[in-house]
Amino acid sequence: MQTITAAELVLQPLTVADADTMFGVLSDPQVYRYLDYGAPPSVEHLRDVYAKLARRKSPDGSQLWLNWVVRQPGATPMGYVQATVSPPGTAWVAYVLSSKYWGRGYARMATQAMIEHLGNAYGTTRYLATVEALNRRSIGLLERLSFRPATSQEAQDHDLSATERLFVR
């Protein structure tokens, strides 16, 4: 994995050592309003999760797990972007930034830089993301990144909850 630079941001490959600083970011309760999981219970738990993610592959080797910590140069982390890459050329993308960075374009910059990198480095051509139907902020971000709502046919093959929506690019 490579470090990615995007305007005023640096996306650094996630490591176990990032758990200490990311724990503070991921303790922001506003982050979880539209997520189906809560904050990590401890730094130790987050280290265990990051140890699995740092392997960069699913246990069966069929997917690449690519995670980057997002920050301004020399600053503490803002959050992360991630992609699960599956053949042939498809990536599920996600992003989580601390609420104190919302509304400044950082999530868009970081996610766009990741998508461009995925296309160049991994040959990814199709991108998918899920979002809660009431999460207007995230839907707006996906639309600014040229994602569109999936058709019912595109969504039927995915296990979505009643409140989730699939977006495709």
We report the CATH number of the domain holding residue 123 as 3.40.630.30
Q: In the predicted model, is pLDDT for residue 142 greater than 90? A: yes
Q: What is the pTM of this model?
A: 0.93
With respect to residue 103, please indicate whether it lies within any of the assigned structural domains: yes
With respect to residue 76, please indicate whether it lies within any of the assigned structural domains: yes
As a whole number of angstroms, the longest Cα–Cα distance in the chain is 45
With respect to residue 148, please indicate whether it lies within any of the assigned structural domains: no
With respect to residue 166, please indicate whether it lies within any of the assigned structural domains: no
With respect to residue 60, please indicate whether it lies within any of the assigned structural domains: yes
What does the radius of gyration of the chain's CA atoms come to, in whole angstroms? 15
Cα–Cα distance for residue pair 1/114, rounded to 1 Å: 11
With respect to residue 149, please indicate whether it lies within any of the assigned structural domains: no
With respect to residue 22, please indicate whether it lies within any of the assigned structural domains: yes
Q: In the predicted model, is pLDDT for residue 126 greater than 90? A: yes
Q: Give the residue numbers spanning the domain of 49.
A: 4-129
- Total number of domains in the chain: 1
Cα–Cα distance for residue pair 80/13, rounded to 1 Å: 10
Write down the pLDDT at residue 88. 87
